[in-house]
Structure 1
Amino acid sequence: MRLWHDHLLPKLPRPQLLGQHRECCALRGDGWRKKHKTVNYVFSYSPYRLYLYHMKVMNEMKRRGYKNDPLWENPLYRGKTCPPYKNEQLIRTCNNEGEPVYPEHNQEYLQECIKNLEEKGINL
């Protein structure tokens, strides 16, 4: 489980992009606060940041002509098995436009993601 660096989303091959959508859905739902070393940092922030990241993924999917369930475009939605957030539970935090949603998605993390993809035989 990994959230790819935001800047890689437009370059990801189809399987990785669609996999990223599934990861976001899982994290927003029953996976919220379930420990996994590569994504633990997301739990240090409001779930709204994960929603913002997920929207970047879904916008890239739309740009490529893929469809997603529009229910995921609601920041309060958590999937079919989780109750939705109440407005007051979701503290909104924003980043500057064009910057990664998570501060951890820095240049070092970008290089780590590129190396990980190269190890999978994917050269961007």
Structure 2
Amino acid sequence: MRLWHVDLIAFLPKGQLLSQWRELNSIFAKEDKHILINYIYEYPKDDLFIYTEMVIAEMKKRGYQIRTFEKMNKYFEALGAVEAKTPFKQHHNREYLDICFYNLKEKYIRGQKDYDEDKYHQLCMFVNSNHV
């Protein structure tokens, strides 16, 4: 289980993006605990909401259908107005970006079927441009 670095959502292969939505729904349903995501509970729910909205926006941009928002709506039902901000700012730093990059790089090198060369090169250009 992993929440990919916020700046890499647009570069995720289809499999990882769709898995991200499944993992978010698992958090919404059970408030999963896992060593790679426990940090999210140190932040206000606003951060997870903003992150979720970013994942949804990327899925819609790619034309992927989302069947239900039931778990998400229930999880965030008491959340008031949310101000725009970068979610998980202390954890989604340069070190975490590098960790996620190398994880995605391995998937590309190993031949993940839905990870095309163009998407991988866009990722490399982004990471090498010294973001974060």
**Shorter-normalised TM-score: what interval?**
0.7 to 0.9
Gapped runs of 5+ residues in structure 1? Answer: 79-84
Residues 37/91 of structure 1: CA separation in 2 closer, same or farther (3 Å cut) = farther
Q: How does 1:22-101 map to 2 (within 5 A)?
A: 22-30=22-30, 32=31, 34-69=32-67, 71=69, 76-78=73-75, 87=78, 90=79, 94=83, 96=85, 99=86, 101=87
Structure-2 separation of matches of 1:17 and 1:25: 13
Counterpart-to-counterpart distance in 2, 1:106 and 1:21: 22
Q: CA deviation at 1:92?
A: 6.1
- Give, in angstroms, the shift of residue 118 of structure 1: 1.4
TM-score normalised by structure 1 residue count: 0.75
For this pair of structures, how many residues does the alignment match? 110
Among candidates 88, 112, 121, match of residue 102 of structure 1: 88
**Larger relative contact order (C-alpha < 8 A, sep ≥ 6)?**
2
RMSD: 2.3
Contact 1:20/1:57 (<8 A) preserved: yes
CA shift at 1:77, angstroms?
2.0
Cα 1:46–1:65 change in 2 (3 A) is same
Larger Rg: 2
Distance in 2, matches of 1:8 and 1:15, equals 14
| Residues in 2 aligned to 1:94 and 1:41: alpha-carbon distance in whole angstroms | 20
Q: Which runs of 4+ in 1 moved over 3 A?
A: 90-95
CA shift at 1:86, angstroms? 5.3
* 2:13 is aligned with 1:21: no
- Residue of structure 2 equivalent to 1:111: 98
Structure 2: segments with no counterpart, 5+ residues: 110-119, 124-132
Distance 2:20 2:77 in 1: 25
